[in-house]
Amino acid sequence: MASRHQRPEATGSRPEYVVARAPDGTRVYAVGDIHGRADLLRSLHRKILDDAADAEAQRKVVVYIGDYVDRGPDSFGVVDMLIEDPLPGFERHHLKGNHEDFLLRFLDTGAHDDGTWMLNGARQTLESYGVEWSDMAYGADGLAAARQRFADFMPESHRGFFQGLELSHQEGDYLFVHAGIRPGVPLAAQREFDLMWIRDAFLDSDADHGCVVVHGHSIVPEPEVRANRIGIDTGAFHSNRLTALVVEGAERRFLHT
């Protein structure tokens, strides 16, 4: 089913509803929150390659919606796959999620938000990089030791990956972000925090954003399709279901593990 969003005309006129479209000659795959499930990412990559084999579109794009790390067992494997074994023939865009924000703040400044990251999957990420739980004792000394070992064990290619993540990407009438946008605020004026962290103010809004926003961050059992947004975080780390949205022209569909 095609999506419709509203494009305002001049003040006082009736709004014009148009079908959201990807750019001509382009097929876009948007991959939801992976959260350390390298096994599911590998499986979904195979499905994407099979699906794209008969694509008439000359340009193939894959957008990863963010949250590559935490909670699942193999964050290292997810990041390494995206760097070392990318989908061949695809233009790739990797967005920054709130869990990458956690990781970078911890790695770069030692900030740990009073242990909040540790309560949201950091242990699994650090262990996947070779940092033992005994190195992660709560308290300033334990966290400082964990941070140093994490920095020592992280390959430079991984550090570059995290530091180079994008906050948003647009294809035609579709805007891809990790969490959502602040309704009523132009994209150029959006706060980084909202793009990675926003929930209710975005999820509950029926405002016309001028595009269809494709996002993750907020778990749903099935892809959530609204007039102004599409949520594709299907909780892969515990549901075993990693989702990709496929858009081409005015058509859209989903792939799942």
> Is residue 119 domain-resident?
no
Give residue-wise pLDDT tens across range 89-142: 999 999 999 999 999 998 887 765 557 888 899 989 999 999 986 656 666 677
| pTM for the structure as a whole | 0.91
Sign of CA dihedral 198, 201, 206, 207: negative
> Is residue 159 domain-resident?
no
Asked if 215 and 227 count as a contact pair (C-beta separation under 8 A), the reply is no
> Is residue 235 domain-resident?
yes
Give residue-wise pLDDT tens across range 183-224: 999 999 999 999 999 999 999 999 999 999 999 999 999 999
Structure-token pair, residue 205: 């809004």
Asked if 139 and 106 count as a contact pair (C-beta separation under 8 A), the reply is no
In 3D, which of 246, 242, 250, 253 has the Cα closest to residue 29? 246
Domain span including residue 248 = 4-98+168-256
pLDDT band, very low/low/confident/very high, at 7 (cuts 50, 70, 90): very low
Q: What CA–CA distances, in Å, run from 107 to 104, 147, 152, 163, 205?
A: 5, 6, 10, 11, 35
> Is residue 152 domain-resident?
no
> Is residue 126 domain-resident?
no
H-helix segments, the chain? 38-52, 75-84, 98-109, 122-128, 140-153, 156-163, 192-197, 200-203, 236-239
Between CA 17 and CA 120 the distance in angstroms is 41
Number of domains in the chain: 1
Residue 177, helix vs strand vs coil: strand
> Is residue 151 domain-resident?
no
- CATH code of the domain containing 210: 3.60.21.10
Asked if 214 and 175 count as a contact pair (C-beta separation under 8 A), the reply is yes
